[in-house]
Structure 1
Amino acid sequence: MAAGFVISAPASGVGKTTLTLALARAWRNRGLNVQCFKSGPDYIDPAFHAAATGRASVNVDSWAMDRVAISHLVSRGADADVVLAEGSMGLFDGVAARGVSGTGATADIAEMLGWPVLLVIDPSGQAQTAAAIAAGLRDYRPGVRLAGVVLNRVASPRHEDLVRRALHDSGIAVFGALPRHAEISLPKRHLGLVQAEEQGEIGKLIDEAARFVAEHVDLDAVLRSAASWSPQPAAKGLNVTPPGQRIALARDTAFSFVYPHMLEAWRAAGAEISTFSPLSDEAPDASADVCWLPGGYPELHAGKIAANARFRSGLRAFAETRPVHGECGGYMVLGTALTDADGVRHEMTGLLGLETSFAKRRMHLGYRLAALAAPMPGHRSGARLRGHEFHYSTILAQPDTPLAVVHDATGAVIAETGSQRGHATGTFFHLIAEDR
């Protein structure tokens, strides 16, 4: 039996990820096997989880996945001693319209799995009001149980005492209080945290976070508050078809946003994946039968991508006879040109007519439901795909045949339809699952 719980907060930016990593490493240092998950569509945090635990982490998402898929994914925690699901945004934050099994809120996962919530509260600029917020979250939705609270960024012992007393009077357990500690801050950029693989000192940072949290949080009390949990075997796995038998996958710091559960599902279905680095001027494996360019940060490396002739010519040659698909940043690189933040226009691979600009920044964020108007690798025409879009690039031109009719979570049609030309296809959303 594993001890399972969800780590959440009233809002983003409160310290969920740092606390998750610190607890995971602290318990691992005690000899426990720790399994992490990420609730919601964030594709960066699972790599941090893996760095902290030594075990692969995957996303679970109530808007895009049904209960069977979620049960299948969490069953990897069967041999763990502790299972942590890190939430996204605030505890009850999701979309207005229900998806496959929920709205995408962290609370959906907590209720579905029966795991209590460990709440991270940042009481900066307040005191007793923090208890009112915690009590409101505790009582907001029947079926979601609050285990207790960890306070983050407390200003002083007096400040901590005021908040602790108010929480105690509200019947809410306080497991610990963390003073401000700059040494455990994770660096950020425009799409979230700087990726774990780009941080050479990530292991030392997690170790320091674990030491700091173990000093200020009652780890044993947290474990006692967790639910005893053993996974129920799922009748079926994910509804995922590999895009091909041999997949050439672009993989480096410019092309790294791909959901771990997708790669695992492809391999489980018998596909073989070979990686190549466009930033190192590598071409896709000539023996592959499909090429997949995930999202990432091509806007930060546009000049280098434009200059890498071997990659560009190799990809064009590949696309003459075999399918090539790009997601978000990968889609942008399949296009004609990308304008960077300084307004410099860089020529991309030209497999599609898409032209984008990072100089004209506008955030595009949200779940997407796409009905394919044409086939793309692994999915037939007419398939309904669920995914998530998050980028700041503006479309200057999207002249090719639309790949899909794409709706947001409210049902509204959006302009980011994706494109298809010849063997090349692309979408701005990152694929999470296909409707069964």
Structure 2
Amino acid sequence: MAAGLVISAPASGVGKTTLTLALARAWRHRGLNVQCFKSGPDYIDPAFHAAATGRASVNVDSWAMDRGTIAHLVSRGVDADVVLAEGSMGLFDGVAARGVSGTGATADIAEMLGWPVVLVIDPSGQAQTAAAIAAGLRDYRPGLKLAGVVLNRVASPRHENLVRHALNEAGIAVFGALPRHAEISLPKRHLGLVQAEEQAEIGKLIDEAARFVAEHVDLDAVLRSAASWSPQPAVNGLNVTPPGQRIALARDAAFSFVYPHMLEAWRAAGAEISTFSPLADEAPDASADVCWLPGGYPELHAGKIAAHARFRSGLRAFAETRPVHGECGGYMALGTALTDADGVRHEMAGLLGLETSFAKRRMHLGYRLAELAAPMPGHRPGARLRGHEFHYSTIIAQPDMPLAVVHDATGAVIAETGSRRGHATGTFFHLIAEDR
């Protein structure tokens, strides 16, 4: 029987990912099997979890997924000794309007699974107030259990003692306190952490984090605080139809943002996936019956993509007879042109009329509910798709027929409708699930 815990915090940027990776690797060093999950729509963290544990991690999301889907996904932890769900943003942060089974908050997942929460608290610039914050999080939502806290970035032993005393007075367990330690800082860029596969030294960094956390945190006490858990049988699996029988999937540093549970669902339904690299000037597999370009960082590689004639001509030839779909960065690459951060305009594949600019930066972030006006690979007209959008690029032109009517989580209609032309379709949102 596994022991389940949720790692959360009062806010983003406090150290949830670092602690999750460190605990997972430290327990793995002790011979335990550790399974990680990511609560919420972040598509970068699961790759770090896999690097730390040696087991694939997937997202669980209460706004986009029903309870049956979440139960199906977490059931992969049945053979693990420890199961860790890393939260997004702050513990209760989600959207105002309820989605399929919740608001997208980490607290939804903790309550749904019955797992206690370990809070990462950064008391920089405060002392006793950190205890008030922890107590407020503990008491905010009945039914949620706080296991205890790990303090991060404490300034000095005196600072630690002040915070510990206040937490003890509030009846909150302190599992450990981490001094500032620059050597385990994970590098970031505009969409979050630099991807795990781009960091050659990621294994060493996680090992150092595990060593550091084991030195300052009572790992046994954290483990004892976990809830004994065995997954309940899922009534439903994933409601996912593969976009084709044989899928050509773009996969490299420019095109890598695809949810792991989607790929697993495609394979479970019998689809075959062949990968190709646009950055290596590779064309999609000519034997595939659909091509899928995930999101990623085309804005960082626009010059190379524009110069790779084999990739672009191969993609165009593919689209003459078979469907091609792009998500976010993949959508941008299917367009006419992309202007990079320096203001240089680069020609893209030209399968759609979309033109975007990274020089005119504006953050687009949030859940999306799309009702398809036309088919896209794997989904019929009228299908209601739930996804998440996160990018800084601005639409300069979007002249093609809209693919969908797209709403944000409040129900407001947004301009990022996606596009369709011939066999090509694209969206700015990353698909998470289809409503049943």
- Normalising by the smaller structure, the TM-score range is over 0.9
Percent of aligned pairs sharing the same letter: 94
Find the aligned partners of 2:236 and 2:226 in 1 and give their Cα distance. Answer: 27
Tell me whether 1:404 sits opposite 2:404 in the alignment: yes
Question: Which string of whole-angstrom CA distances, capped at 9 and with x for unpartnered residues, describes residues 163-194 of structure 1?
Answer: 00000000000000000000000000000000
Give the deviation of 1:214 after TM superposition. Answer: 0.2
SS at match of 1:48: helix
C-alpha separation between the residues in 2 aligned to 1:213 and 1:179? Answer: 10
TM-score after normalising by structure 2: 1.00
Summarize deviations over 1:53-112 as a string: whole Å, max 9, x none: 000000000000000000000000000000000000000000000000000000000000
Counterpart secondary structure, 1:88: coil
Structure 2: distance between partners of 1:141 and 1:234: 26
Q: CA deviation at 1:233?
A: 1.2
Q: Secondary structure at the match of 1:256?
A: strand
- Backbone CA RMSD of aligned residues: 0.2
SS in 1 for 2:255: coil
In 2, Cα distance between the equivalents of 1:25 and 1:355?
A: 43
Structure 2 stretches of 5 or more lacking a match?
Answer: none
Deviation at 1:425, TM superposition (A): 0.1
Moved over 3 A (4+): none
Residue 304 of structure 1 aligns to a residue whose secondary structure is helix
**TM-score, length basis structure 1:** 1.00
Number of matched pairs: 436
Distance in 1 of aligned mates of 2:253 and 2:236? 33
Q: Which residue of 1 aligns with 2:148?
A: 148
Q: How far did 1:126 drift? A: 0.2
For residues 371-423 of structure 1, what are the alpha-carbon distances to aligned partners after superposition, in whole Å with 9 as ceiling and x for unaligned?
00000000000000000000000000000000000000000000000000000
Distance of 1:58 and 1:288 partners within structure 2:
26
- Greater alpha carbon shift after TM alignment, 229-238 vs 323-332: 229-238
The residue matched to 1:110 in structure 2 has which SS?
helix
Match of residue 165 from structure 2:
165
1:20-59 per-position Cα deviation (integer Å, ceiling 9, x unaligned): 0000000000000000000000000000000000000000
Q: How much has 1:3 moved relative to structure 2?
A: 0.7
- For 2:172 and 2:106, the matched residues in 1 are separated by 20
Matched residue SS, 1:273: strand
Distance in structure 2 (CA, Å) of the matches to 1:279 and 1:76 = 33
Equivalent-residue separation in structure 1 for 2:237 and 2:279 (angstroms): 34
Separation in 2 of the partners of 1:253 and 1:49? Answer: 18
Q: Secondary structure at the match of 1:32?
A: coil
Question: In the TM superposition, what whole-angstrom CA distance separates every residue of 1:195-233 from its partner, at most 9, and x where no partner exists?
Answer: 000000000000000000000000000011000000011
Task: Name the SS of the counterpart of 2:252 in structure 1.
Answer: coil
In the alignment, the residues of structure 2 paired with residue 395 and residue 147 of structure 1 have an alpha-carbon distance, to the nearest angstrom, of: 45
Instruction: Name the residue aligned to 2:12.
Output: 12
Tell me, what secondary structure is at the counterpart of 2:257? Answer: coil
SS at the partner of 2:17? helix
> Shift of the alpha carbon at 1:285?
0.1
Aligned pairs for 1:203-282 (under 5 A) are 203-282=203-282
CA–CA separation in structure 1 for the residues paired with 2:270 and 2:236:
16
Deviation at 1:235, TM superposition (A): 2.0
Give deviations 1:341-393, integer Å, cap 9, x for gaps. 00000000000000000000000000000000000000000000000000000
- Counterparts of 1:35-434 in structure 2 under 5 Å? 35-434=35-434
Kindly state the Cα deviation for residue 236 of structure 1 after the two structures are TM-superposed. 1.8
Deviation at 1:143, TM superposition (A): 1.1
SS in 2 for 1:368: strand
CA distance in 1, matches of 2:183, 2:106: 28
